[in-house]
Amino acid sequence: MSAALPDIAWHLLTGALASYRDQPRAAAAVRRELERFEEPLRIAVAGPPRAGKTTLLGELAARRGVIFTETPTIPVPDADALLYLTPHPGESVAYELADAQVSTLARATPVDTIVVLSRADEFGGGRVDGLGSARMIARRYQRHVALQQVCQAVVAASARIGYAGRTLTAPEHAALTSLAGRTREETERYLLSVDRFVDPQAPVPVDPAVRAGLVERLGLPGVRLALTLLRTGSATRDELSGQLVARSGLDDLRDAIGELFIEWRPVLKARSALIALDALVRAQPHPDGARLLAALDRALANGHELRELRLLAALRAGRTRLPISRTASSRSGAGSRVRPGGGGAADRRHRPGPGRPAGRGADRRAGMGGGRRRRRPLAGARRGPPAPPGPPPRGRRRGAQL
Amino acid sequence: MAPPWLDVLDETIHACAARGRRDLVRLLEDRRTRLLDPRLRVLVVGTRKQGKSQLVNAIVNAPACVVGDETGTTVPTVVQHAEKPSAVLVSGRADRTPVPVDEVGALALRRPVGGAAHLEVGLPRTLLRSGLVLVDMPPLDGAAEPGYAEAGLDGADAVLMVSDARREITRTELDFLVRAGRSCPQVLVVLTKIDLSQDWRRTAQRNREHLAEAGLPAHVLPVSADLRLRAAKTDDRALNAESGFAELVACLQQYAATKAERIAPHTAAAVTTRVLESLAEPLLAQRSAAAGQLEDLQRSLERLRRQSARWQNGLADDIADLASDVEYDLRDRTRRIIRTVDEFFDTADPAEVWDAFAPWLEENLRNAAEANFGWLVERSHWIAARIARDLAAYRADVLPDSTFWMPDQVFDSMSELERPSFGHFSLAQKLFTGLRGSYGGVVMFGLLTSLAGLPLINVVSIGAGAAFGEGGGTAAHRGLLPQVQQGVPGRGPAGAPGAARPLQRPARTAPGRAGRGGARRPAPVRRRRAPTGVRGPPAAVPPGPAGERAGAAGHRGVSERMRTNHGLSAPVPHDGGERSEVPS
Ligand SMILES: Nc1nc2c(ncn2[C@@H]2O[C@H](COP(=O)(O)OP(=O)(O)OP(=O)(O)O)[C@@H](O)[C@H]2O)c(=O)[nH]1
Ligand SMILES: Nc1nc2c(ncn2[C@@H]2O[C@H](COP(=O)(O)OP(=O)(O)O)[C@@H](O)[C@H]2O)c(=O)[nH]1
Ligand SMILES: [Mg+2]
Ligand SMILES: [Mg+2]
């Protein structure tokens, strides 16, 4: 069995440090990479202007062991993982992402990217099912060959709906409730456009300024969605708020970030380090260079963790299934879900249904990721990095087909 | 009679043909045909998911184009009039595949290779009957190859840029419009989805400002395709009015009606301008090549000018040093003779011994002058060599032999020493009053021939004058003297054993050293810099006066020794400590 990727990366980096002993600049760069091993996972939030980066960042909030940073352009130096926001999905996203990978090595291991179909509430021309149709599109894109090759997952999310839902006020709930009290036929004509909805002449039981406030917060599609939800059984403020958050897709996004990034922190760190080392060796030729490059190639090509990550992505996307017998014999009993850490993790994180109340989001967030990290003294650099999260049972790994 | 724009277009076509530009001829002929065609072809462009296809559908009130959040438009869709609804996928000249017309709006077409394919949709619509043709394009920033939309511009009469009303127009969109204006100046900006926007009025205003800043005289029309389609479905006039489509449709109809009078001349003007520019391109390229050459020349001229300024400064410095050194040397030599003369006449009566004295004096003076002059010559060679080395194009053989050599007979022309009338002057005074002229003449003679124009002459003359008690040189020259005298072993006259010291020396030290170091020229000897930028061991130090100076009477052999020295191309080497010496 091959060694764990973080061990290999650590080993290669310390080796490179020795090789570049007499090239202070290069040595400093290697040392920097060694330090990065210890640092929190850096997740960049990128995408075109007005894609909703800042808003989303606010909703993702801080988590232990993770740093989110907003940046307009890719590639993002120093990032271990990338959330790429696009309000208008298309094949060109795949090209943009492929171009953004800094090297062949990076391109060959696209385990660092999640594509976010942002502003999902605006999909479908702002009709009530915009969020739903965005979710379906995301699912389809996930199976799209061009996108498979550049990312681990495609998730639809509306930070606006998520935020408005999470912070829904009592007056807002009251106003929406009184609007929902009218029949669909009565309200329909005032929901055709923002102009109509905020029209002071409109004979609806809510003050025009309050109506304007609602559009401001939820957007017209959000208002339509809220009214539909109120009419179909989510009457209380908590229920409405929970439904809005659930439909916003933010939970799905948090799940994906947890399962694909945070739990794999050491592996993603190792990948970043190897890619950086690869670039360094190519830029600063060294007698040991050829040997280092070959070792890097081998590490990334054979690193079973990376293949596991790809497999995990395929499973999440429903692109592949594990053979039943292997699944049954698996230690963790996690069903079809690959876990970097094996047992335990899976039962802790049961995927919630769409109707899950919003209030629990925070608890869940706090419990997530980074839990198994061990500290390692940096200075004594003789030891390798910590053992990465234990590999999944061997049988499963063999069954992997990417 | 043909409209004037057609004449211009035809003339341009001739001009292109005359220059063998068949590509331009073809382009213009295509354009000519299109402009004469009564149909108005409108290209609907924009970035991803702005609502282009929905807009076209709303104009014709039919699902003619693919609308959706997913794939979107992959091939241009040409929507035009037909008696019966029809749809054809055109993939090549003869490759026309009919498509069920109800399905065109839901077609999931693969992205075409090479971009040759397009969809043709025919609809029986009054609006289209007047000749309006709408071309729904794939997004500008989509996966289609770059230039896809630009290629379509040459076949279009107007451009309709679609931009989401929930955001302001972007740089990408403005840039495209600027480019589009060069082949298709009739531009309309349509703000879509105003039904979803809270402040589309403000956005429209901002967009008008952006367009004006970019120099684009484009109209901005806010619309909602959704409202229009719904209004059509429910036959809701009020909603149709809110959709903003009335104005858009009126605008398009007006374009179509006035194509020949308004759009064709504008378009022809833009196109001919562009074509003439590309005709002129080779000429402009030539001109810019010439301009580039001129620039290069100017740069090298400037470089030479800087270089020459440098060597001129260097020369001026060296000459000034030389002048003061020579002055001192001459002064020193003559002073020693004077002292001997004074001593001599202390005991002898000038009138009695004159006949014997005159040849002695003459020879000594001649020797002193020769030695001094020889040294001057040698220094001049050293200076010439040093300056030459600083020049970029220096080769050992570029130094002319003609820098100046001591003329063989130079001192022969010295006038006979006049017998002074021994009156009430002290003898020495009288003597040198007489001498002054002749020595000066010698120096002048020697120098004028080779160094005309340099300050050397003046300085040497002043030196001579000073030695003979007249003028005494400028304050600056005086200031230099003491420093020269401090000298450096083996170089200056000061180092010579038994050298006579000028009486003024202590007095002169003060002004020479006074304060503002920068304003005064520093000591020439100390200042002697290692020639800058010289590779290899340079001849760093100018030669000292040739030969040791013994007593005033022992100057005879000097001129011979000096002459042999002239054979040395490199000046007398010096001990190394001096070169790096820095004034303290
Ligand atoms: N509410 C609203 N939605 C619109 C309007 N126009 C278009 N849409 C929606 O915007 C989305 C994109 O519309 P398309 O017409 O396909 O946009 P497009 O610019 O042709 O897209 P591409 O061809 O992919 O570039 C669809 O979901 C439409 O329903 C509008 O006026 N109002
Ligand atoms: N409809 C909708 N609007 C959003 C969403 N996220 C952000 N916005 C709005 O889009 C605009 C730009 O958002 P921002 O987060 O600043 O985008 P950034 O430029 O990518 O950082 C703001 O007006 C937000 O309110 C979303 O999910 N849905
Ligand atoms: Mg931002
Ligand atoms: Mg389209």
The span from the CA of A268 to the CA of A303, in Å, is: 12
Select from A286, A305, A324 the last residue of a domain.
Answer: A305
User: Quick one: pLDDT at residue A104?
Assistant: 83
Query: Is B251 in contact with B221 (CB distance < 8 Å)?
Result: yes
What pLDDT shows up at residue A143? 87
In a domain, A372, yes or no: no
Residue B374 has pLDDT above 50, yes or no: yes
**For ligand 1, atom 30, which residue shows the shortest CA distance?**
B193
Q: According to the model, what pLDDT value does residue B419 have?
A: 56
Each residue's pLDDT tens digit, B141-175? 866 666 667 777 888 999 999 999 999 999 989 99
Look up residue B489 and give its two tokens.
């072993």
Are residue A282 and residue A151 in the same domain, yes or no? yes
* CA–centroid distance, residue A71 to ligand 3 (Å): 8
pLDDT at residue B461 greater than cutoff 70: no
Please indicate, yes or no, if residue A325 is contained in any of the structural domains. no
Residues on chain B touching A90 (C-beta within 8 angstroms): 48, 71-72, 139, 142-143
CA distances from B359 to B365, B366, B372 (A): 10, 10, 20
Residue A332 is predicted with a pLDDT of 41
Q: Do B193 and A126 touch (CB under 8 A)?
A: yes
A90 with B48: Cβ contact below 8 A: yes
Backbone angles phi, psi at A322, to 5 degrees: -80, 145
B54 in reach of chain A (CB within 8 A): yes
* DSSP bridge pairs for B81: B123
Identify residues whose C-beta is under 5 A from ligand 4, the ion: B 52-53, 72-73
pTM: 0.65
Regarding whether A183 and A41 lie in a shared domain, the answer is no
Is pLDDT larger for residue B211 or for residue B492? B211
Number of A:B CB contacts under 8 A? 65
The count of structural domains within chain A is 2
Clarify whether residues A240 and A277 are in a common domain.
no
120-139 in B: which are within 8 Å (CB) of A? Answer: 139
B118-123 and B86-90 beta bridge pairing: antiparallel
Q: What are the chain B neighbours of A194 within 8 Å (beta carbons)?
A: 195-198
In the predicted model, what is the mean pLDDT of residues B278-300? 80
Query: Of the given ranges (A147-151, B130-134, B161-165, B579-583), which has the lowest mean pLDDT?
Result: B579-583
- Amino acid B97: pLDDT: 85
Q: Tokens 């022309």, residue?
A: B413
Residues on chain A touching B227 (C-beta within 8 angstroms):
192-193
Contact B69 A50 (CB under 8 A): no
Q: Do residue A45 and residue A175 come from a single domain?
A: no
Question: Among the ranges B103-112, B177-186, B560-569, which has the highest mean pLDDT value?
Answer: B177-186
How many helices (H) and strands (E) in chain A? 21, 5
Q: Would you call B241 an interface residue with chain A, using a CB distance cutoff of 8 Å?
A: no
CATH code (residue A282): 3.40.50
A84 pLDDT more than 80: yes
Long-range CB contact pairs, B387-396, < 8 A, 24+: B387/B311, B387/B314, B387/B315, B387/B318, B389/B531, B389/B534, B389/B538, B390/B307, B390/B310, B390/B311, B390/B314, B390/B531, B390/B532, B390/B533, B390/B534, B391/B307, B391/B311, B392/B307
SS3 label, residue A371: coil
Q: Give which of A225, A196, A243, A217 is closest to A130, Cα–Cα.
A: A225
A120 and A148 together in one domain: yes
What residue has token string 């282009």? B52
| Residues B179-202: tens digit of each pLDDT | 888 888 899 999 999 999 999 999
Helix (H, G, I), strand (E, B) or coil at A82: strand
Give this complex's ipTM. 0.76
Q: Take atom 13 of ligand 1 and give the residue whose Cα is closest.
A: B51
Residue of A nearest to B167 (CA): A50
Ligand 3 centroid to Cα of residue A52, in Å, is 7
* Share of residues in chain A with pLDDT > 70 (%): 78
Torsion of CA B448, B454, B460, B461, to 10 degrees: 70
Q: Whose CA is nearest to atom 6 of ligand 1?
A: B51
- Cβ pair B67, B50 in contact under 8 A: no
Residue A195 and residue B242: Cβ atoms within 8 Å? yes
**Cα-Cα end-to-end distance for chain A:** 19
Token readout for B95 is 């490759």
- Spell out which chain A residues touch chain B, with contact meaning CB-CB distance below 8 angstroms: 49-50, 87-92, 95, 122-126, 133-134, 137, 140, 192-196, 198, 212, 215-216, 219-221
Q: Do A137 and B70 touch (CB under 8 A)?
A: yes
Residue B404's pLDDT is what? 56
More confident residue, B323 or A88: A88
A63 DSSP 8-state letter: B
Percentage of residues in chain B having pLDDT higher than 90:
29
Residue B469: pLDDT above 70? no
Contact B459, B316 (CB under 8 A): no
Q: What span, in angstroms and rounded, lies between the C-alpha atoms of B469 and A340?
A: 105
Single out the residue in A289, A305, A321 at which a domain terminates. A305
- List CB contacts (< 8 A) between A143 and chain B: none
Residues of A in contact with B143 (CB under 8 A): 90-92, 95
User: What pLDDT, on a 0 to 100 scale, did the predictor assign at position B410?
Assistant: 52
Q: Are residues A40 and A119 in the same domain?
A: yes
Q: Would you state the pLDDT for residue B345?
A: 74
User: A192 and B239: CB-CB below 8 Å?
Assistant: yes
Pick the range with the lowest mean pLDDT from A256-260, B52-56, B355-359.
Answer: B355-359
- The sign of the dihedral angle between the CA atoms of A228, A232, A234, A235 is positive
Domain boundary among A197, A229, A247: A247
- Whether A204 and A167 map to the same domain: the answer is yes
Assigned CATH for B39-257: 3.40.50.300
Cα B103 to chain centroid, rounded? 63
Write out the residue range of the structural domain in which residue A211 sits. Answer: 162-247
At residue B394, the pLDDT reads: 58
Stronger pLDDT, A212 or A356, i.e. the higher one? A212
Q: Is A54's C-beta closer than 6 angstroms to any atom of ligand 2?
A: yes
**Strand, coil or helix: B584:** coil
The answer on A119 and A28 residing in a single domain is: yes
Cβ contact, residue pair A95, B196, below 8 Å: no
Q: Where are the domains of chain B?
A: 39-257, 313-420+487-581, 427-486
Q: Per the CB < 8 Å rule, is B139 touching A90?
A: yes
Spatial separation of the C-alpha atoms in residues A165 and A218, rounded to whole Å: 9
Pick from B50, B70, B166 the residue to mutate for testing the A interface (most A CBs within 10 Å). Answer: B70
Whether B69 contacts chain A with CB within 8 A: yes
Question: B431-452, pLDDT tens digit by residue?
Answer: 444 444 444 334 433 333 333 3
- At A165-210, the pLDDT tens digits run 999 999 999 999 999 999 999 899 999 999 999 999 988 889 999 9
**Whether residue A220 is found in the same domain as residue A288:** no
SS3 content of chain A, % helix, strand, coil (to 5): 55, 5, 35
CA A321 – CA B260 distance, rounded (Å): 65
Query: Would you say B361 and B376 are in contact if contact means Cβ atoms under 8 Å apart?
Result: no
Mean pLDDT of chain A: 80
Residue among B103, B108, B73, B72 at smallest CA distance from B88:
B103
**One domain, residues A103 and A133:** yes
Name the phi and psi angles at B79, rounded to 5: -105, 120
**Rounded distance, CA B430 to CA B420, Å?**
6
Segment among A308-322, B332-346, B565-579 with least mean pLDDT: B565-579
Q: Does residue A42 share a domain with residue A17?
A: yes
Taking 90 as the threshold, does the pLDDT of residue A36 lie above it? no
- Over residues B464-482, the mean pLDDT reads 37
Q: Which helix (H) or strand (E) holds B259?
A: none
The answer on A135 and A278 residing in a single domain is: yes
The residues, ordered by sequence, that sit 6+ positions from B145 with a Cβ below 8 Å of its Cβ are B115
**Residue A263 located in a structural domain:** yes
DSSP string, B358-384: HHHHHHHHHHHHHHHHHHHHHHHHHHH
Rounded Cα–Cα distance for residues A117 and A89 (Å)? 7
From the CA of A275, how many Å to the nearest CA of chain B?
28
Residue B197 is nearest to which of A89, A95, A194, comparing CB atoms? A194
Residue with tokens 């339509």: A224
